[in-house]
Chain A
Amino acid sequence: MPAPSMDLLRFATAGSVDDGKSTLIGRLLLDSKAIFEDQLEAVEATSLSRGYDYTDLALLTDGLRSEREQGITIDVAYRYFATPNRKFIIADTPGHVQYTRNMVTGASTADLGLVLVDARQGLTEQSRRHAVILSLLRVPHLVLCVNKMDLVDYSQERFDEIHKEFTSFATKLVIPDLTIVPISALKGDNVVTRSAHMDWYDGPSLLHHLENIHVASDRDLVDTRFPVQYVIRPKSDQYHDYRGYAGRVAGGILKPGDDVLVLPSGMTSKISEIDLFGQDLAEAFPPMSVTVRLEDDVDVSRGDMICRPQNAPSPSQDIDAMVCWMATTPLQPRQKLAIKHTTRMARALVKDVQYRLDVNSLHRDLETKELGLNEIGRVQLRTTIPLLCDPYEKNRTTGSFILLDEATGVTVGAGMINSSS
């Protein structure tokens, strides 16, 4: 039985209860029937027992005991809903500055970022910060929802003011695709269907936009990058000589017959077959998981990269990157960390913290030579082995890495490689 051919959109939201984010998400989930009766009843009962005179839809997403006790969202929550043509994964994160690392986490896998502002207040520090983080993480599409339009009498003038303020702020950011929608999450205006109260707005409803935005072309289909994850050698009678390189395509379109270069060895060969579960594939592209076989018996192992002779990433031990720091003890020069980049593990030495970026004002603080918890800055690293990397702006897979504390094993940082590496 063939499954429906719907595709996938991952989007990230951030914000607090005040700006109506939970109401908006609750409405999308309710209207697409992703919330079940027992879930809604549980939330209604809890709201009532707390003495609220409304159903607090935030309780749907605040899943942990401590979150419900404190009435705040402290972690990334993933929610799912689907319409007939598309499935959506929402990475829902708290918007406060002390949760920058959660916002960065949510944005790292997102195709689209959703920023909410209250029409009465206009842009706040929080909404600016969220837009900055989405831009740093190179989330290709951004939707600004000007919410609570019902409380400003659905005023076009107010919407235009915020529209202008945001677009002028956005010139400092990298936002390839920006859409601004006036909505009322509470009343449902322009959320699922076009609003009857704002005939001056001729754009799509939010859900219509989310359903129709084209995301496949955001992936790099030109520069072939195949990080080898695992070598498959069955050593069985039937597959005695089988040797396949398993991995997930990070860039480009691979086809049998392609000339390839294997890094770091520098050896060249040709792709003989691409297969998955015994099925020969005519081509493979991101984000497919496949097994690549080569014509020649070259030595390839985990951590290697299959690319094209004329189009390869630059192996480098000197990494220049924007790093988001996620540990309570600060990142400082001369610190030694473990680094994971694609399928390679190495060690890294912090050479320099060049500046700290103020995610509210975009100001570069050149004085501070360290990064504290939830701070983002430009950092120079030296690694024990070359990383086969691309600039993050070109490829979010081969341009990203995580930093681990060598003693505790905990993830302490996330990095996006700059083009000067």
Chain B
Amino acid sequence: MTVHADYRLSQLDELEAESIHIFREVAAEFEKPVLMFSGGKDSIVMMRLAEKAFFPAKIPFPVLQVDTGYDFPEVLSCRDSWVSRLGVRLVVASVEDAIASGVVVDDGKTSRNRLQIGTLLNAIEEGGFTALFGGGRRDEEKARAKERVYSHRDEFGQWDPKMQRPELWSLYNGRIHAGEHMRIFPLSNWTELDIWHYLGQEEVEIPGIYFSHQRRVFERDGMLLTESEHNPMRGDETAQERTVRFRTVGDLTLTGCVESGADTIPAIIDEISIARLTERGATRGDDRFSEAAMEDRKREGYF
């Protein structure tokens, strides 16, 4: 903790204090919270903050992962290592299982990203969860920039941007009716750079694919996608080995990587300090379809 002589906190310490306050508030006011934990960098920061908020007690809620079946193995193994170190209960909501049981329909055209929505809403219902911590940040995307820290979802899991509750000071309103739930975004005020500075400061384990490595990739829609049995190449697409890293980790059929030699956190920070594209715009096929792609998915119940 950086304490200045005149009782100033560094901005990162202030963000940490704000996020810890949110975690504790939710744990105190909600019956069944759950933390959405993908094993990606934002959710690792969330785990770290939750660990700090309740130390030396264990995190008083389980973690939930939506498994698309197309997740990077490196990310899943990092997830498992965090879960076992902290001794929290892991709930996996599997898209494959949801398809098998008819909860969602795989028509071959809908992306796994979109099928996650029904899978997630089903898992919320089954678990009876009333509050879901998500790692969304307001700097990520325009629709997120206007979303509250406590974001209300109706009994269909829908977000209504026009009916958002005013959110003042640090007084959060957690009132919900039966069947509704709240999405909670403790990282609302963090930026991509803050996340990396924090990961660097805390020296915690993150998936290796964030760092520069050799990978067989092919180009599609201006993005570099990983060669995988889940993502057959089309037409004249050809794979070749390149030196790459991932800026975000999601469904591997939609998440592109960037050519990069950044193999340490300081090198990553240097790289994104001069980056000219947002992390989602650069490497997320799911956000590219329309100007309001994220808003539309959020309305339906996406993270």
Contacts and interface: CB of A to CB of B under 8 A. Distances in A.
Interface residues of A, number: 83
Contacts of A68: 291-292
Interface string B244-287: 00000000000000000000011000000001111001100000
Given A7-B8, A221-B7, A409-B177, A277 B52 contact: yes
Given A401-B171, A402-B171, A404-B175, A6 B52 contact: no
A232 B56 CA distance: 8
B6 interface: yes
A390 interface: no
Contacts of A281: 1
Contacts of B241: none
Contacts of A388: none
Given A1-B201, A68-B291, A278-B56, A7 B166 contact: no
A281 to B, nearest CB: 8
Nearest to A81: B191
Interface in A385-401: 396-397, 400-401
Interface in A1-35: 1-8
A281 B3 CA distance: 11
A104 B167 CA distance: 10
B25 interface: yes
Contacts of A8: 9, 11, 14-15
Interface string B79-109: 0000000000000000000000000000000
B289 interface: no
B216 interface: no
Contact of B10 (A4, A109, A400, A402): A4
Contacts of B170: 109, 248, 397
A334 B25 CA distance: 30
Interface string B128-152: 0000000000110111111000000
For chain B, the bracket of interface size reads 35 or more
Given A4-B197, A36-B277, A78-B188, A229 B25 contact: yes
Contacts of B6: 216-217
A99 B189 CA distance: 23
Given A64-B146, A101-B166, A414-B166, A400 B171 contact: yes
A58 B173 CA distance: 30
A190 to B, nearest CB: 25
Contacts of B143: 63-64
B57 A75 contact: no
A166 interface: no
B54 interface: yes
Contact of B169 (A2, A46, A276, A397): A397
Given A76-B146, A289-B17, A39 B168 contact: no
Given A4-B10, A78-B189, A404-B175, A343 B266 contact: no
Contacts of A3: 2, 10, 12, 197-198, 200-201
A248 B21 contact: yes
A277 B51 contact: yes
Contacts of A221: 7
Nearest to B295: A65
Nearest to A288: B17
A346 interface: no
Contact of A66 (B10, B139, B162): B162
A202 interface: no
Contact of A216 (B7, B18, B138, B292): B7
Interface stretch (A113-121, A123-131, A235-243, A357-365): A235-243
B37 to A, nearest CB: 19
B223 interface: no
A226 to B, nearest CB: 12
B277 A37 contact: yes
A46 B177 contact: no
B212 to A, nearest CB: 17
B292 A287 contact: no
Contact of A79 (B24, B145, B165, B200): B145
Contact of A285 (B7, B168, B189, B265): B7
A239 B165 contact: no
A326 interface: yes
B11 A86 contact: yes
A5 B10 contact: yes
A3, A5, A229, A236: residue with the most chain B Cβ atoms closer than 10 Å: A3
B17 A36 contact: no
A239 B56 contact: yes
Contacts of A247: 24
Interface of A: 1-8, 36-39, 42, 46, 60-66, 68, 74-80, 82, 86-87, 89, 101-102, 104-105, 108-109, 216-217, 219, 221, 229-230, 232-236, 238-239, 242, 246-248, 253, 276-279, 281, 285, 287-289, 291, 302, 326, 338, 340-341, 343, 396-397, 400-402, 404, 409-411, 414
Given A2-B201, A248-B17, 9 more contacts: A3-B12, A6-B10, A7-B14, A8-B9, A80-B189, A216-B7, A230-B25, A278-B55, A326-B166
Interface of B: 1-2, 4, 6-18, 20-21, 24-25, 27-28, 51-58, 138-139, 141-146, 161-162, 164-171, 173, 175-177, 188-189, 191, 193-194, 197-198, 200-201, 203, 265-266, 275-278, 281-282, 291-292, 295
